[in-house]
Structure 1
């Protein structure tokens, strides 16, 4: 599958609600032939892998209030699901994510399984991953690209992601007000 149809499917499927997003992506993929569904997944996986950068992980950590290895993969799935413009902008400068976020955490909600579900429904077969030829499916993910840094360092976070920090870092005095106001 070429990149243009890949991104068109992704962008047409986007919905703010994660469940609606998943269902809309399945609907778009349902219009493809079974082998195109596999090609779509291969492209999707390429984009998730290409976003394996330490600064994106730092942004995910800030946005979601922490971020494990699996959580970072889910974050990258979410990022691909937001479409080409948001994806490419975030790869260049993760702080641009503040332009599309509202202060809530994000989750890919299994978008990377939409193609699998559509393939199984179309073919009745369970050989999706074999056809995808995903050798690395059981291998641990490679370490992210970039120099490691401390995601717990608030000063460093503010330096790297000033706009995201404005959305996601609540000053201590405001946290006290939130707790007292509940």
Structure 2
């Protein structure tokens, strides 16, 4: 197993978030700081463990292979992401900005 890079870490977190269900996902998209209210997030922060769902990212891939016996065509692997909010284009290691934007999560993770 390779050590995940920054992009992998985001993808694995995305897999975890999807696995939490629609209600949690929708709340997190509307207000990411709401994640601080989840007990699993609080435990993760206290234990310094990651919230990763790498296996979630392969479900569609594996289901396709099981259903068809074939690999997913390369042409279907393009992901179109929504336009990102430019106001969130800042260094996430900048603790002052993180504390301003996500105060509850910062209080858990930036001790």
- Give the alignment's TM-score, normalised by structure 2: 0.72
Contact 2:11 2:54 in 1 (8 A): no
Deviations 1:52-78 (A, max 9, x none): xxxxxxxxxxxxxxx712221222121
Partners of 1:116 and 1:135 in 2: CA distance: 10
Q: Quote the residue 2:52 is aligned against.
A: 107
Change (3 A) 1:96 1:79: same
Q: Quote the residue 1:157 is aligned against.
A: 98
Deviation at 1:144, TM superposition (A): 6.2
Partners of 1:143 and 1:119 in 2: CA distance: 25
Computing the radius of gyration from Cα coordinates, the structure with the larger value is 1
Structure 1: gaps (5+ residues)? 1-66, 171-182
Deviation at 1:120, TM superposition (A): 2.8
The structure 1 segments of at least 4 consecutive aligned residues displaced by more than 6 Å after TM superposition are: none
Q: Quote the residue 2:70 is aligned against.
A: 126
Partners of 2:14 and 2:90 in 1: CA distance: 19
CA RMSD of aligned residues (A): 2.6
Partners of 1:116 and 1:143 in 2: CA distance: 22
Change (3 A) 1:85 1:113: same
* Match status 1:74 vs 2:22: no
Q: Quote the residue 1:136 is aligned against.
A: 78
Alignment of 1:1-182 (within 5 A): 68-100=6-38, 101-102=41-42, 103=45, 104-123=49-68, 125-127=69-71, 129-130=72-73, 134-136=76-78, 145-147=84-86, 148-170=89-111
Structure 2: gaps (5+ residues)? none
Partners of 1:126 and 1:90 in 2: CA distance: 35
Aligned residue pairs, count: 98
Q: Quote the residue 1:40 is aligned against.
A: none
Q: Quote the residue 1:180 is aligned against.
A: none
